[in-house]
């Protein structure tokens, strides 16, 4: 794989982090908004719980992504060190493994020997081939720190949309009774757009993906609204 291909794959992975964190942030925040509205609580409560959810859940997701990427990176590095040691200490055995790998790919005769010679003439390519073709490991190109940051940023940026109308209402004392309606409209648009982008990333139908994300977000919000509605009498 070329440097440009690696870079492209890495960037696409960060975009994936952004999109999936954005969807999660939007759905969970809108669920909070809906639950508060169902309980007929004030807009101030919406903002307090909404921002608490954004920062706390966003941080939790970011840390989880960071730790997951870091663990994967450390595992790949450990396996690479083992393979490098094997290539150094048992080159003939490792060369035979390369020969078997390419034999299974359909190489034979001089073509097979040429492939083995080319691969084993470069230590890095040799180890790369062993990791990918023998162990099935495709090394992660993403930075754990960047992955965590992208997750936190997307969760808060897109997840803020359900709160936007409430914040404007609070700041300029307008749209007081339409805040939830405006929030529904803005959140629906955001979920459809981000869901459509998700469809492009995972190479499925963008329209179905957008509608699916919109519907799932609506179901989550409806459940939260009903919970708030039926438990509103608990609020003193």
124 part of a folded domain: no
Query: Looking at residue 176, what is its pLDDT?
Result: 62
pLDDT in tens, the chain (236 residues): 444 444 444 667 788 889 999 999 999 999 999 999 999 888 889 999 999 999 999 999 999 999 998 998 888 888 888 888 887 888 788 888 888 888 878 777 788 888 888 888 878 888 887 788 777 777 667 888 999 999 999 999 999 999 999 998 888 876 566 889 999 999 999 999 999 988 888 788 889 998 999 999 999 999 998 998 888 877 65
Query: Looking at residue 236, what is its pLDDT?
Result: 55
| Cα separation, 58 vs 20, whole angstroms | 12
- pTM, two decimals, is 0.79
| Cα separation, 162 vs 32, whole angstroms | 9
Number of domains present in the structure of the chain: 1
198 part of a folded domain: yes
133 part of a folded domain: no
85 part of a folded domain: no
Please give, one letter per residue, the 3-state secondary structure of the chain.
CCHHHHHHHHHHHHHHHHHHHHHHHHHHHHHHHHHHHHCCCCHHHHHHHHHHHHHHHHHHHHHHHHHHHHHHHHHHHHHHHHHHHHHHHCHHHHHHHHHHHHHHCCCCHHHHHHHHHHHHCCHHHHHHHHHHHHCCCCCCCCCHHHHHHHHHHHHHHHHCHHHHHHHHHHHHCCCCCCHHHHHHHHHHHHHHHHHHHHHHHCCCCHHHHHHHHHHHHHHHHHHHHHHHHHCHHHCC
113 part of a folded domain: no
90 part of a folded domain: no
128 part of a folded domain: no
Domain extent at residue 215: 3-76+143-234
| Cα separation, 80 vs 75, whole angstroms | 9
136 part of a folded domain: no
């Amino acid at each position: 794989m070329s440097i440009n291909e690696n870079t492209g794959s890495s960037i696409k992975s960060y975009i994936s982090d952004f999109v999936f964190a954005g969807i999660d942030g939007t759905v969970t925040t809108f669920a909070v908004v809906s639950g508060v509205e169902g309980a007929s609580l004030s807009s101030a409560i919406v903002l307090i719980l909404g921002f608490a959810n954004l920062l706390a859940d966003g941080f939790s997701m970011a840390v989880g992504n960071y730790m997951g990427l870091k663990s994967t990176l450390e595992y790949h590095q450990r396996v690479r060190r083992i393979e490098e040691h094997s290539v150094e200490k048992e080159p003939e055995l490792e060369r035979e493994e390369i020969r078997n790998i390419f034999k299974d790919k359909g190489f034979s005769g001089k073509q097979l020997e040429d492939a083995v010679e080319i691969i084993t003439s470069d230590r890095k390519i040799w180890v790369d081939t062993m990791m990918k073709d023998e162990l099935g490991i495709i090394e992660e190109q993403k930075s754990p720190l960047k992955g965590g940051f992208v997750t936190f940023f997307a969760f808060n940026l897109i997840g803020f949309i359900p709160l936007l109308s409430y914040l404007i209402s609070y700041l300029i004392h307008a749209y007081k009774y339409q805040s939830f309606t405006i929030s529904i409209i803005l959140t629906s648009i955001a979920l459809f757009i981000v869901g459509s982008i998700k469809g492009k990333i995972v190479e499925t139908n963008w329209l179905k993906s957008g509608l699916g994300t919109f519907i799932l977000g609506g179901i989550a919000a409806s459940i939260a609204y009903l919970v708030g509605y039926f438990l509103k009498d608990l609020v003193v």
